Chain A
Amino acid sequence: MLSVENLRSRYGRIEVLHGVDIEVRSGEIITVVGANGAGKTTLLRCISGVQPISGGGIVFRGETLQTVPAHRRVALGLSQSPEGRQIFTNLSVEENLRLGAYLFADERVETDMAEAFALFPILREKRNLAAGGLSGGQQQMLAIARALMARPACLLLDEPSMGLAPILVAQILDVVKDLKKRGLTVLLVEQNAYAALQVADRGYVMETGRITMSGPAEQLIADERIRTAYLGV
Chain B
Amino acid sequence: MTELLQFVLSGVTVGAVYALVALGFTIIYNASNVVNFAQGEFVMLGGMVTFFAWQAGLPLPLAAALAILAAAAVGVALNKLAVERARGAPVVSLIIITIGASIFLRGGAQLVFDKQLHRFPAISGDEPINIGGATILPQGLWVIAGAALVFALLYVFFTRTLTGKAILATANNRVAARLVGINTDHMMTLSFALSAAIGALAGVLMTPITLTSYDLGVAYALKGFAAAMLGGMGVPAGALAGGLLLGLIEALTAGYISSVYKDAVAFIVILAVLFAMPQGLFGRKSTDRV
Contact = CB atoms under 8 A, between A and B. Distances in A.
Does A associate with B in a complex? yes
Given A50-B175, A98-B165, A102-B166, A90 B182 contact: no
A107 to B, nearest CB: 15
B172 A91 contact: yes
A103 B176 contact: no
Given A88-B168, A89-B288, A71 B184 contact: yes
Interface in B155-187: 162, 165-166, 168-169, 172-173, 175-184
Interface residues of B, number: 19
Interface stretch (A74-82, A185-193, A205-213): A74-82
B290 interface: yes
Contact of A86 (B168, B179, B183): B179
Interface residues of A, number: 30
Contacts of B182: 71, 99, 102
B179 A91 contact: no
Contact of B173 (A69, A89, A95): A89
B165 A95 contact: yes
A37 B290 CA distance: 22
Contact of B180 (A49, A90, A102, A132): A102
Nearest to B179: A80
Q: Main SS of chain B's interface residues?
A: helix
Contact of A71 (B178, B288, B290): B178
Contacts of B288: 89-90, 132
A143 B129 CA distance: 56
Contacts of B290: 89
Contacts, number: 73
A70 B175 CA distance: 9
B285 to A, nearest CB: 11
Contacts of B180: 74, 79, 99-100, 102, 146, 149-150
Given A98-B162, A146-B180, A150-B181, A82 B175 contact: yes
A217 interface: no
B168 A91 contact: yes
Contacts of A31: none
Contact of A99 (B165, B175, B183, B184): B165
B122 to A, nearest CB: 40
Contact of A88 (B162, B172, B181): B172
Given A88-B176, A90-B172, A132-B288, A71 B183 contact: yes
18 contacts: A50-B179, A70-B178, A70-B179, A71-B182, A71-B183, A75-B181, A86-B176, A86-B179, A87-B176, A88-B168, A88-B176, A90-B168, A91-B165, A91-B172, A99-B166, A99-B169, A146-B180, A149-B180
Interface of A: 48-50, 69-72, 74-75, 79-80, 82, 86-91, 95, 98-100, 102-103, 105, 132, 146-147, 149-150
